[in-house]
Structure 1
Amino acid sequence: MSPVLPSARVVTVVLLVLLCGGCASLAPQRSELTTRVGRSDLSVAVMRTRVRDLARRFSGLIEALADDLAARSGSPHVASAMLRFKANAVPAVQSALFQPDPVAALIDTWALLAQLEDSLPRTAVGASPELLAHAHDSLGALESELEAEWRGVTGREDATQTRDKVHAWAAANPLTGPLVTRVSTTELLASLTNVPGGGLRSTAASLVEDTRDLTARVDLYATSLPRQARWQAELVAVDALRAPTVQSALAELGRTVDLLDRVGAVAANSPAILERERRAALDSVHAERLGLQAYLTGERQGVLADVDRERQAVVDALHAERIATLQQLDGLARGWVDHAFDRLTPLVDRVFLWLALLAVLLGVGGLLGGVLLTRAWRRAH
């Protein structure tokens, strides 16, 4: 078989594809979703151009949002979270905006932004409320642009009901993992366009991207994919630094620095470059020592403060216990005294009664004795 035939077949297939694309571009393509939402006069090509134009801007704005939040937070944890955030959000937004049906792309991107707004506080843990509020406002501005496009598509100025449905769907379907696993917005799209769920895929599948859509997608990917590859490499590097093998390697590196320090002391008469390297290593070790010393000093002061607080708490507790014991003993003493007086009162009463009776008897005896002595004296005289 001649090698020219496969080449001729390839050329023929390419020409047929271009011819079909040209015919498709000449015929005014209609979208059932576009007709259902209220503006049947908008063609798919016009809506695609308006929606595709948002892909580049939204990608850049989300990247700038994540970089700004990471830089202003000053936290390595937040910076790592924002790196993972933009590495997932940017391709997800691009994929949503490049769906075949522009209405479906509009709603899907709107729902994705609402999900990102809800998940941002859980993603950027440790960021200040002011930074989170600024990032939320930035995502809200992107959502406002989509809302303006939706008003242009539907021809209605009030999009409150649609916005409420989108946010209710986002709240019911939060992002719990990578964005590639997010729930499909087919049900949401069906509720907004009154199209049965089973017909949405066939509606979107009937729309074929033309060469302009492919060119825009390739142009956007040519600009964005190198940055996404760099983000993925940075994520791999961050994850690798957290591995136990890397930690052990860093420990070995510390011991190597100590060894180089001793070698530098032996090679005191080496060239000036070795002396500079040795001094740089010593300065680094000295800085680390000062940092460690400051950390240990802070920890020691914290421990002493905790011990002092514990001691004061123990003293206060003992003082309170002593006061409570004294109060209890005072109550017991008062009870014992009252009980003793209660027991002694009848005894004293009896003693006084017997003494009174004895006095009466002595008085009566005295009187009788006096009378007897008087009578005896009288008889004697």
Structure 2
Amino acid sequence: MNEFKIIIINNRKMLRYGLIAFVSLLFTSCSLLKFETEQVPLSNYEVNTRELLQRQGSLSILAFNDICDSIRNNTTSLELKEATLRLKLNFVSGMEATVYQNPPIYALIDTWIYVSQVSSYLSNDDMAKIIGKHSVYLRSEVTKVKEDFDAFAKRTLRITHYSRKKKFVDEYSSNHLITSIDLERDSPFSDYTEYEGIPDTSFVKTTGTLSQVMSDFSNRVKFNSNALPKKVKWESQIIAMSAGIDSVNIQATLDSIQIQIERFNKIVEESPEMFQEGLDRLVAETTPLLRNIDIQWANSLRTIHHERVALDSMILRERLAFDSMIQREREIAFVKVNEMAVDVTKEAIRSVKETISSILIYIILLFVVILVIPFTMGYYSGKWATHHKRKKQCKPKDIS
């Protein structure tokens, strides 16, 4: 009986330990409910590449504008001045389109290609015919801009990646040349993904966290805010030159008008009867200029309006994209929560089933130990004792 008591005590301890283990499993399973809803951040390397690229892009634009301004200030040809303004305007627009892209490494490669293509275009013979005697200076300076960007790419890209990326840039630039002063060209996206063996669907893995996205958006708005007045000014000057007006000579024209007015004042004082004739001549001389100024002013206002509409449209697109991104991440997080809840429920049910099975096994063993074994032993012991007693009774008594 002491042995039976020991077995019962041990079974109770095992049952208590089993219940404690079951509760611990439930609390451990609940920890699976932890999940992350924020986006995958860009790595430090990608963030630094983006910031350095935007800075280098601004430096390249400044250097290119200085080259065009130097040529423009040293020529009297309206055609050449207009060409330099168009180059400045188109180069800024092209750099804006390449620098502010995702992912940052592709933005660097695309900008690198664009700078190389522009350098090749400005160094060819067709451009030399337009620039004339300034072609040697232009070719030398744009080559420096390209070399500066090459050096920047070498400093920024990892050593193991630089040679491979440079090979692609050189091959693509030489096979896809820019052929017009508009500096238009095709995007290298398809060629680059094929070269790197990256599927289109997994090319952009993440746009970064919310703070990284907003920082990039702020930089883009800042760039547009600085570039917009300059682009409007250049477009106004291009329109004026197309009408035969050199904006550099507008002040001289105004000075000439002032001289004419002073001359008319003198005529009025000396000969009032000639005032009407001089006034008519003044009106005839100034009317075309004032009409052109009015036209240019209207065109400038129209351009500013279009630029403002374009900026509003860009901000709206960015806002819609941002809202869509947040909604998409929210839906992904909701799906993850549902999946985790289902997994936790299944795990808890499985653990409960295993625990109940273990408990039932222990109960059956306990039942066997407490009831079956003693009953069986008693049965066979009684049977043996009865048999032994009958055997004794059946034994004949000894006769003295």
TM-score normalised by L of structure 1: 0.49
Q: Larger relative CO (CA 8 A, sep 6+): 1 or 2?
A: 2
